[in-house]
Amino acid sequence: MPPTRAGKRLLNWASMLDDNTLDQARETASMPFIHPHVALMPDAHSGKGSAVGTVIPTLGAVIPAAVGVDIGCGMIGVRTGFTADDVAGNSASLSDLRAAIEVAVPLSPGNYNGHLERFDFTAGKIAELEAKAASDQVNLAHSPKWREQLGSLGGGNHFIELCLDETDHVWLFLHSGSRGVGNKIAQKHIAIAQKLCEKWWITLPNRDLAYLPEGTDEFWRYIRDLNWAQRFAFLNRAEMMDRFGTVFAQWMGTENHREVKRINTHHNYTRKEQHAGKDVWLTRKGAVDAHEGVKGIIPGSMGTRSYVVVGLGSASGLCSAPHGAGRRFSRTEAKRRFTQDDLRQRMAGIEYRDSADFIDEIPDAYKPVEQVMEDARDLVSIEHELRQILNVKGT
């Protein structure tokens, strides 16, 4: 849908929007260094400091809490050469595959890899991150086990899925970010920004909109740490996908998973881009890059469709698009409204771990992804529509 002007320097693409989310977006748009405007994506919902689903272009400053604590969180999808018939013809069950995935990938927020020698492809990613930390002078003393975090999923709405597209080709699909090490980096710099704004007597509409001015040592230390965490998140997804592909191939009784194409995208990050004639620091907090021709992934909620998309390069949308369905209800409210039986009904026909722990992830707790995609029709075009046949949730 075309955007509506929702306030000074604020454009909105969301047809489903609560007052708190709108208030947060207006606070963000009120910051003096916004250029040219804040873009509120179709999946926008309230978050910490600034709304999730907000695209924030800034001149000469970055807001660490707007980037968020899961730096580099995003999606990776791999289209394989297998089809639904290949899966259906496999004598092994989908529950066997789910069990193998859960062995290969640590699931819970605090659960790390016990060792890093199981897969040959892990060492190269760790070596790259070690070299980047050394060259960029990134101090990781706060996270001595960051290596063990590589290749782990985390909790909340992070997931791994086996999907089929509109032509019944098999996709491997997962959602995760920079894990505990990214959280530590974010919290460190959020605190620094807040202390500096207090020191300089800067009045903020919200303490979590504290910023770091470009040109200060604190700004550039954050950018170096941020870039490292974004790379960690990218490689973390790649590591889990490599593991997923390995166990899927073993489950299929073949030597490889016949990868046709791979898309690996962030949806919580900051980078330098040009918009409205100026170089800005563009923060996508719950949004994907939708420059013209750029491939992206917009997942639905547990039990609903997901989409592989192509950016349309919308200038007013800051070349961005939604990152998912977007929550309608908080986790507490979802657990109050829905039951485990409700979740079972919504997950009929999908292999998943039947647990009351996931009630707050029921599709009804999210916006209808079909409406989100309708709202985003001027931002992206749909290349593939995916439906899951297996789901693994972070615990």
Between 109-113, 193-197, 323-327, the lowest mean confidence (pLDDT) is in 109-113
360 domain-assigned: no
**Residues annotated as catalytic (active site), given as ranges:** 323
Q: Where is the binding site, in residues?
A: 70, 157-161, 175, 267-268, 299-302, 306, 323-326, 393
Local structure of 1: helix, strand or coil: coil
Q: Residue 238: what pLDDT? A: 98
The count of domains in the chain is 1
pLDDT for the residue 395: 75
| Structure confidence by residue, pLDDT tens digits, 90-105 | 989 999 999 999 999 9
Give the 3-state secondary structure of residue 162.
strand
Q: What is the mean pLDDT of residues 154-176?
A: 95
Instruction: Kindly state the average pLDDT of the residues 51-71.
Output: 96
In whole angstroms, give the CA distance from residue 206 to residue 197.
11
Q: What value does the mean pLDDT take over residues 70-93?
A: 96
Q: Above pLDDT 70, what percent of the chain?
A: 100
User: For residue 381, what are the domain limits?
Assistant: 4-328+366-393
E-strand stretches of the chain: 4-7, 10-12, 38-45, 52-58, 61-62, 74-83, 159-164, 169-176, 212-213, 259-266, 268-275, 278-285, 287-289, 295-298, 306-311, 320-322, 380-393
**Residue 378 is assigned to a structural domain of this protein:** yes
Q: Are 360 and 393 in contact (CB under 8 A)?
A: no
Predicted local confidence at residue 205, as pLDDT: 94
How sure is the predictor about 257, in pLDDT bands with cuts at 50, 70 and 90? very high
Instruction: Specify the pLDDT at position 311.
Output: 98
Check pLDDT > 80 for residue 1.
no
Residue 264 CB-half CA count within 13 A: 17
Q: Name the least confident of 45-49, 245-249, 314-318, 344-348.
A: 45-49
If you average pLDDT over each of 13-17, 106-110, 357-361, which comes out highest? Answer: 13-17
Does any domain span residue 349? no
Residue 348 has pLDDT above 90, yes or no: yes
pLDDT value of residue 199: 96
Q: Which residue has the tokens 């699931």?
A: 107
Pick from 266, 314, 300, 322: which is nearest to 385 by CA?
300
- In this structure, is residue 160 part of a structural domain? yes
In a domain, 359, yes or no: no
Assess whether pLDDT exceeds 80 at residue 383: yes
Q: Which two tokens stand for residue 155?
A: 């909790």
In a domain, 93, yes or no: yes
CATH of residue 225's domain is: 3.90.1860.10
List, for residues 306-323, the tens digit of each pLDDT value: 999 999 999 999 999 999
> Which residues are documented as binding site for Mn(2+)?
70, 158, 175, 267
For residue 110, name the pLDDT band (cuts at 50, 70, 90).
confident
- Residue 225 has what pLDDT? 98
DSSP 290: -
Percentages helix, strand, coil for the chain (3-state, rounded to 5) are 35, 25, 35
Task: Let me know if residue 67 belongs to a domain.
Answer: yes
Question: Quick one: CA dihedral 331, 336, 339, 343, positive or negative?
Answer: negative
Task: Please give the pLDDT value at position 328.
Answer: 87
Calpha distance 231→347 (Å, rounded): 34
DSSP letters, 6-50, are EETTEEE--SS--HHHHHHHHHHHTSTTB-S-EEEEEEEE--SSS
Residue 346 lies in a domain: no
- At residue 49, the pLDDT reads 77
- Kindly report the pTM of this predicted structure: 0.96
CA 260 to chain centre: 23
φ, ψ at 36 (rounded to 5°): -90, -25
pLDDT score at 160: 97
pLDDT at 157: 86
Q: Is the pLDDT of residue 115 over 90?
A: no
